[in-house]
Each structure stands twice: as C-alpha cells, then as structure tokens.
Structure 1
Amino acid sequence: MSTPDNRETGGGRPQRADARTNRERILNVAEEVFGKGGRSASTEEVARLANVGIATVFRHFPTKAALLQAVLVQRFDRLREQAETLFHATDPGTAFFDFFSHLVTDAAGKIAIAEALLEAGGDKGGDAAQASDGLRRAVGALLEHAQRAGAVRDDVELPEVYALLVATSQASAHAHLEEEVRDRMLAVVFDGLAPVRARGRE
C-alpha cells in the first residue's frame, strides 16, 4: 500500500510509537462511526471518540476523504486476511459459504463507508481499489478450493459468483432485511451454487 501503517500519510518518515497508536485508534473509531452513521457522520465525532484533537486527525489524514479511503483499505485488508486463513480450513465448502455469508452480513458498514467517501468527494480508486482487488482474489481462491473439493458446481467462475455476492450484499444492506429473510436469501443462492448431484439428493 502507498500508506503503510508505520508511516505518516503523505510522507516517508517512520512514525513514532505514539503517532502510530493514534493513527490506529483514529482508523478503528472512524470505521465504527462511519460504518454506522455513513454520510451523516463527522470527523469531529471521530476525534471525540478517539480522544484526540481534530488537528491530530487531519495531521494523519489531510482530508475526510483520505480518512475514509484508509478505513476502506483497513476493512478490505482485514477481510482478505480472514479469507486467506480460511483457505487452510479442513472443509473448503464450509469455508467458502461461511465467508460468503460473513461478507453479506458485513456489507452494511462497508457500503455506508463507501457512500460517505463519495459524499466527501473521494472515490474508491487508489489504495482502496487495490485492497478490494486483493479481497476479490482471496474470494476466488476460496471458490476454486471449494470447487476442487466438490462443494461448489464447477461450471461457475468468479465474475458471476462475485456479482451474486455484490447483489446479495446490496439487497441485505439497502432493504434492511431481517436476519431470517437474509438467511433464506442466502440459502437460495447457495442451493444454486451447489453441484447438481447435491441438489438432486434433497
């Protein structure tokens, strides 16, 4: 990434330990605040809850858009790492479907942050796009692993599976689906991804 955690945003000098701690706290608080409040949330609220001055926030992140971009990078990187860990699970099918479910459940916060980023005049390019691509590749690896294990039909590829993931995530977030409805929606999607022989036995 162009803005690693141990360097000042926009500079090349390593950060002091207290500066790194402040940056991490600001990012974690911002993820929670904007994940819940979306476009209505503010950097002032982030500063207050992180127990730092607003000047400290803008010293690390020159603009609100820069802060939100960094939040998305952190979120995508964390999810990618989770997917990479699941790749080594003993049951590839369960790992894939559980992670798919997790992404859909997690989507509301991510979408709220992305909308706040656009509202702040930023975009989802740059580091956020690279981090998103990394997550997509990790999902693709889980998919291929599940297909090799016979848990997912072998005639689907990542583009259509990711389209299903995006569609179900958007539906879950914007329609404010109840958990029971969301689970039934996912059951329908997963039934469609199951090998034909598995569906025929049910």
Structure 2
Amino acid sequence: MPQTSRADARKNRDLLLAAAREAVAEHGTDASLRDIARRAGVGIGTLYRHFPTRETLLEALLNANFDALRARADSLLTAPAPGDALMTWLGELAAGSATYQGLPESIMNALADEGSGLHASCAQMRVAGGWLLERAQQAGSVRPDVTVSEVIALVLGLAWAAERSVEPSDLAARLLSTAMYGLADRGPVM
C-alpha cells in the first residue's frame, strides 16, 4: 500500500473515532453508524472498512479505558487493604461504565458472547478484576462464595440503574457501597 494511502486510511480512522466519541457520548452505544460516518466526512463504506461491526468500533473507542482498568487492577494488587483495593477498582469500573449510555449492557453482552468484537477486551478486564477479588477473599474481606463474573455483573447492573435514574449523580457510588457491604465476609452464608 502506498504511503499516502496508509496516511489517508489512518486519517479516516482517526476522524471516525473522533466522530464516534461525539455521537456515542450524545446518543449512547446505539448511535447511528451513518451519523458517525457523516460527522467524520466519509462514506458508510469507509466506516465499515475500518470497523466491520458496531462492536469493533466500540472496542476501538473503549480499548484505552479497558487497558487503564487492567493496569489499575495490576497497581492495586499491592495495596495494603485488599478489600479497599477491590472497592476502588469496582468504583472505577462503574464510573467507566457510565461514560456512554448503554455501555453497561454492551459490556455484559460482550462478556457472554465470545464472537463479539468487545469480548477479548472485556474478558481481560474480568481476569484483572478476578485477581483483586481473589486477594480480597483470601484476606477475608469478601465472601468466598462469589465469583468475579457475579461481582462485575452486580457493578454493571448498578451502573445501568444509575444511568437511568433521576437520583443524584452519586447514586452509583452509593449503590456500590451498599453492594460491597453485602459482599463482605461475615462468616457462613445462609
């Protein structure tokens, strides 16, 4: 491929991602792909050449967020209070899930669908969260009978509820605090 073609392709990809950020911020993860192409000043065919599915476009938008969450989980693995480290990470997951309307549902769907373009990124994020959960369970901070999939589903459900609520903007944090109280290890589970 000639140098100018590659430069044009990179430019179009960057334009599409910038337009997608705007459109998804305004309309959520179901934003019109035609609108994204129009905003970028390219045809719909160009959008599909770069991003064959909505999921691949979302993955490109969210990859940096997921990478940051994975890195954050790694950095929290050495925190002195494993339960607090897990709570911090889950709070950041909830906040990140609120970036775009519909994102919590998209993440849950991607985790369940190995064919999804978002699956690999979401699965890696789940693994990183699993390390934090396991450490908190070993420290006795979190019940031993919960899985990382259950905890992530809980947090994404809370983020989903908060995004649809007319309650104060700190609702997600308050719901997460309540959920963490329920996850605390208080001895045998009934």
Deviation at 1:32, TM superposition (A): 4.5
Letter in structure 1 aligned against 2:165: A
Deviation at 1:47, TM superposition (A): 5.1
Q: Which moved more, 1:94-103 or 1:23-32?
A: 23-32
Flag the 1:78–1:35 CA change in 2: closer, same or farther, 3 A: farther
| Contact 1:153/1:193 (8 A) holds in 2 | yes
Secondary structure of residue in 1 paired with 2:117: helix
| Contact 2:58/2:118 (8 A) holds in 1 | no
Aligned match of 2:42: 53
Aligned match of 2:110: none
Of the three residues 73, 81, 99, the one matched with 1:83 is: 73
Q: Deviations over 1:95-149 (max 9, x none)?
A: 2101111222222335525779xxxxxx883331122111111111111122233
Whether 1:167 aligns to 2:134 is no
| Alpha-carbon distance in 2 for matches of 1:169, 1:40 | 17
Deviation at 1:185, TM superposition (A): 1.8
Matched ranges for 1:44-193 at <5 A? 46=36, 53-54=42-43, 57-62=47-52, 66-73=56-63, 75-113=65-103, 125-193=115-183
- Contiguous gaps of at least 5 residues in structure 2: 107-112
| Contact 2:56/2:117 (8 A) holds in 1 | no
Extract structure 1 runs of 4+ deviating beyond 6 A: none
Q: Deviations over 1:61-86 (max 9, x none)?
A: 24556423543555434433332333
TM (norm. structure 2) is 0.67
| Contact 2:143/2:184 (8 A) holds in 1 | yes
Flag the 1:39–1:168 CA change in 2: closer, same or farther, 3 A: closer
| Alpha-carbon distance in 1 for matches of 2:170, 2:63 | 30
| Alpha-carbon distance in 2 for matches of 1:151, 1:127 | 34
TM (norm. structure 1) is 0.64
Flag the 1:172–1:195 CA change in 2: closer, same or farther, 3 A: same
| Contact 1:84/1:138 (8 A) holds in 2 | yes
| Contact 1:114/1:124 (8 A) holds in 2 | no
Flag the 1:146–1:66 CA change in 2: closer, same or farther, 3 A: closer
Identity %: 37
| Alpha-carbon distance in 1 for matches of 2:55, 2:105 | 11
| Contact 2:83/2:141 (8 A) holds in 1 | yes
Deviation at 1:180, TM superposition (A): 3.7
